[in-house]
Chain A
């Protein structure tokens, strides 16, 4: 990171976000400045761009903006990240979900789909998949096309399998993908009831009613005001007694919101809408 040539100031960052808003209508207001600065600096380093060059590319080259959008947002994800979370889902949330006729799940900020497929596997394991439908949304079309394919590096599967075992599953993760060459492809039967599509938490609204919404490690990059707005969006998108799952370092923010949810798991940050 400490390549001093490609460093920008916070003022430069404000200029860049203004430019993006004017040219593409894409608003980074409410995003963490520190995180954004680090990501933009990284893009400048990887592509060897000066401040002048990155501004001119962003202004004139919409294909570059697509690439920029992919790299500026954090797309690091895993299957069964935080096994303890999935354990609570299986033992305390899914028995409840089973009582709904249809189970609609929204994974907001799904990136390349690893978490959504983890939910699909868990639902399949519990015999609930056939009456479930899972939506994965992200602002980023490139990661969504990777998610749709459901093909991951085989080398990552060792870690994912360890995570899966740590969730307390009686199955093997390899029951749910096929390995060929260096790739692991998620089974087609798990892709049947899944839809990936573009949705921007900052500017788009409610698009369906869900029994469970999971949005983990996305809100950490938003300021308090934007977090509150997005939590409201989740509240409005949940059916009564539906579940909201946040990342281990995220909260419902306001006391008023906290009153409308029952805490299912304090450590894993799982809530149920009760009012």
Chain B
């Protein structure tokens, strides 16, 4: 599962991560836009309160289920065919590094139809193309309902770019996440 968010999306993203059970059956990769000028302790703060492990993704690290990986500031985050991460400092996209599009597309290239892309509130169009890419590869494209997003540019662009995205309000997003766990339990 890949989550992209920017302006206005942080608090919802925090709540989603806090809701994840320790045995959440998917790996979660989070791309947020934040400044490289300031040291961020977001992961450490979250880790104190979440049941899943929360960390910055390292190069060559193997992606695992029940772990939340944040893209480090000032690097794009890519996934290799062997399931390990690569950090990349090529050109920013829409002035953003990490860019949501870059990670969404890279994860989709490797995991194909086994990807859920979730795009939340944000003030530019980063993520829209990546989400359409996930959809075209058979993955599930989920967009926060622009009317419940604090800044609707990002979700609105994605709705314009994707063919048939699942548009959910905030409580339905939590429902979807809890269904993922429930479904896995049933399958076991």
Residues of chain A touching chain B, judged by Cβ–Cβ distance below 8 Å, are: 1-2, 4, 10, 32-35, 37-39, 74, 76, 217, 220-221, 223-224, 247, 249-250
Contacts and interface: CB of A to CB of B under 8 A. Distances in A.
A236 B106 CA distance: 36
A74 B90 CA distance: 5
Task: State the main secondary structure of chain B at its contact with A.
Answer: mixed
Q: Enumerate the 5 nearest inter-chain pairs by beta-carbon distance, A residue then B residue, closest first.
A: A34-B78, A2-B129, A2-B133, A32-B86, A74-B90
A6 to B, nearest CB: 12
Interface of B: 58-60, 72, 75, 78-81, 86-91, 93, 101-102, 105-106, 109-110, 129-130, 132-133, 136
Nearest to B135: A2
B81 A1 contact: no
Contacts of B129: 1-2
B12 to A, nearest CB: 25
10 contacts: A2-B129, A33-B81, A34-B86, A34-B106, A38-B78, A38-B105, A217-B89, A220-B75, A221-B88, A249-B58
Contacts of B86: 32, 34-35, 220-221
B45 to A, nearest CB: 19
Given A10-B109, A249-B59, A4 B136 contact: yes
Contact of B102 (A38, A217, A220): A38
B90 A76 contact: yes
A114 B75 CA distance: 19
